[in-house]
Structure 1
Amino acid sequence: MIRYDRLWATMNKKGISQYKLVKDYGIDKAQLHRLRKDMVVKTVILDRLCQILSCQVEDIMEYVPEEKE
């Protein structure tokens, strides 16, 4: 599973809010919702977030193996 917990920490460290992403950078609210829920997002969104935050992809996402039942 891909988790986006690192995104929120990176945004906080860079001083960029979700509101700013929507209003100043044109990131769609639906994409932010998908990120909050660890849902599938397009790589173009991940690329844009890396540009906005001046970071690497590992600063916004991580792979976490799912536990087997």
Structure 2
Amino acid sequence: MISYRPLWKTLIDKDIKKTQLMNMVGFSTGTLSRLSKNQYVEMKHIDGICQKLGCRIEDVIEILHYNEEEGKIVHVK
């Protein structure tokens, strides 16, 4: 499972609003909606975000895993 939580932190750190990012990178409101819902987004958009923000992919996405023993989703460090 992919989470875009690092992206929202990066935007806060850089004082950029979600709609500003959308306009900077040039993706649609639908893509912004998918990002907000942690849904699949094409790699070209992830690449565009990294290029425009001057950041690494780790600053945009994180991979979450389901831990069967604990019965919950966990963050991978």
TM-score (norm 2): 0.79
Shift of 1:35: 0.7
The structure with the greater share of residues assigned to helix is 1
Alpha-carbon RMSD across the aligned residues, in angstroms, is 1.4
Question: Which structure is higher in RCO with an 8 Å CA cutoff and minimum separation 6?
Answer: 1
Q: Is the 8 A contact 2:24 2:52 kept in 1?
A: no
Unaligned ranges ≥5, structure 1: none
Query: Which one has the largest radius of gyration?
Result: 2
TM-score (norm 1): 0.87
- For this pair of structures, how many residues does the alignment match? 69
User: Cα distance 1:20–1:39, how it changes in 2: closer, same or farther (>3 A)?
Assistant: same
| Same amino acid, percent of matched pairs | 33
The structure with the greater share of residues assigned to strand is 2
Unaligned ranges ≥5, structure 2: 72-77
